[in-house]
Amino acid sequence: MRVSRRTAFTLAAALFTAFGGTTAFAADSTVHVSLWDKGPDSAMMNGKMMLGMGKAMSGGDMAMAMMGIKIDTATIAPGRITFEVVNDSKDIIHEMIVSPIKSTDVDLPYLADENRVDEETAGHLGEVAELDPGKSGALTVDLTPGLYLLYCNIPNHFVGGMWTVLTVTE
């Protein structure tokens, strides 16, 4: 069966209108994310574990963090957001998880015996799972106004300083 060009354009226009006149899967905004560390002994400094730098943990000096998450914007408009994530480490696997938070003063539920955040209780919205060094991945989610925590949940990484806050404005 052969379809005329006019029929094809008519069908394309109908589909375009049916999806609200926009590309169905296009992201409104993009956040570039770098997962970084200072090498294979990033959780250690002077032979001691550098822990206690999880969000809202007291006593952690973030200037001393040996690993972290860097984003190219800390504030973004609501909508469909694509996180383009790169593991800039040369040696360590990292991941990025997105969780809504009510305040920057409240800790996420933490499983101390597993050295990681309880993702299910925290209410994560999605993740770019374990990325080998130098690899990249993407996650697209719809975000409403509020605060969102981006964090790595490989054991000891969150408490080692691998988190940052993204604010979605009204």
The domain locations on the chain are 25-168
- 47-53 mean pLDDT: 51
CA dihedral 31, 120, 142, 26 (to 10 degrees): 70
Residue range 80-127, pLDDT digits in tens: 999 999 999 999 999 999 999 999 888 889 898 998 999 999 999 999
Q: What is the CA radius of gyration of the chain?
A: 20
Beta bridge partners of 151: 97, 163
CATH class held by domain 25-168: mainly beta
- The pLDDT value recorded for residue 10 is 45
Q: Inform me whether the pLDDT recorded for 32 exceeds 80.
A: yes
Beta bridge partners of 22: none
Most confident of 40-44, 49-53, 143-147: 143-147
CA 7 from chain center: how many Å? 43
